[in-house]
Amino acid sequence: MASSIDLNSSTCTARFIEARFRKKRNPKRAKLLSSFFKTGPGQYGEGDVFLGLSVPQIRAELRVFSKTSLTEIENLLHSPYHEVRLFALLLWVHQFTAKDAPSSVKRLIFRKYLQNIRFINNWDLVDLSAPHIVGGWLFGKNHECLYRMARSRHLWTRRVAVLATFYFIRQNEFVDTFKISKMLLDDEEDLMHKAVGWMLREVSKRDFAQAEAFIRQHGKRMPRTMLRYAIERFPEKLRKHYLMVTRSI
């Protein structure tokens, strides 16, 4: 059992943890995950390698390795294996959100996150970490870095920018979500259409009037996928109305 491991400096290293994950590999599931996360040539996850572990399997290891150092977690994030990188991010989230986490540790995790953003290279890696770490750190502070990230040519950096605002949304603050969504209305990536639409849908759950006002003003510019995600919780009559008057891509 995971809890039976005798933790010491040699077991909380990236090398030890990655080896432990490799022993659990499931080739059949790995093949399915490689297809699901679009790892083929020219696809958004091109070249990513999967071991075939489930998210519950990965999360179970958090109890075992929760005290892993930030440096070793950073080394884990450099792993070629998708699940190991996800585990690294979940460890950072776990340490960042701990009730007794000092501000100095949170700041360092935030900085390391942005410094290693090239390794946070698929939508699940972004979605499970950016709201907690990037949004969690920036809440109540200057958000200018999010706007720089939203203008990035790097897909995952842009997704981090909009997903970070999920933390703000949960605090009933929507200004940054609307501003960044407006910046991304003409984004060419379907994964960004989904991300922006999702965040706008989350706003609509909390303040329908503000969400509809944004759709009313900008809906005609929205790609179809973005719009469908954004108005998913709208009354049927309104959904049909906005789908009729917006562009069809």
Q: Can you read off the two tokens belonging to residue 217?
A: 């003003």
Rounded mean pLDDT of 77-97? 98
- Asked if the model's pLDDT at residue 92 lies above 70, the reply is yes
* Residue that is written with structure tokens 């390795």 in the block: 65
Q: Which residues neighbour 155 within 8 Å (Cβ) at sequence distance 6 or greater? A: 44, 189, 191, 192
Residue 143 near residue 176, CB atoms below 8 Å: yes
Residue-wise pLDDT tens digits, 120-166:
999 999 999 999 999 999 999 999 999 999 999 999 999 999 999 99
Query: Which H or E run includes 126?
Result: helix 123-127
Residue 113 near residue 92, CB atoms below 8 Å: yes
Q: How much is the pLDDT for 249?
A: 46
Q: How much is the pLDDT for 179?
A: 98
- Calculate the average pLDDT of the chain: 93
How far apart are alpha carbons 209 and 243 in whole angstroms? 18
Q: Can you read off the two tokens belonging to residue 197?
A: 């639409």
User: In the CATH scheme, what architecture does the domain 138-249 have?
Assistant: Alpha Horseshoe (1.25)
Length reported for the chain = 249
Residue 123 near residue 142, CB atoms below 8 Å: no
How far apart are alpha carbons 197 and 203 in whole angstroms? 10
In the chain, domain spans: 1-128, 138-249
Residue-wise pLDDT tens digits, 38-83:
999 999 999 999 999 999 999 999 999 999 999 999 999 999 999 9
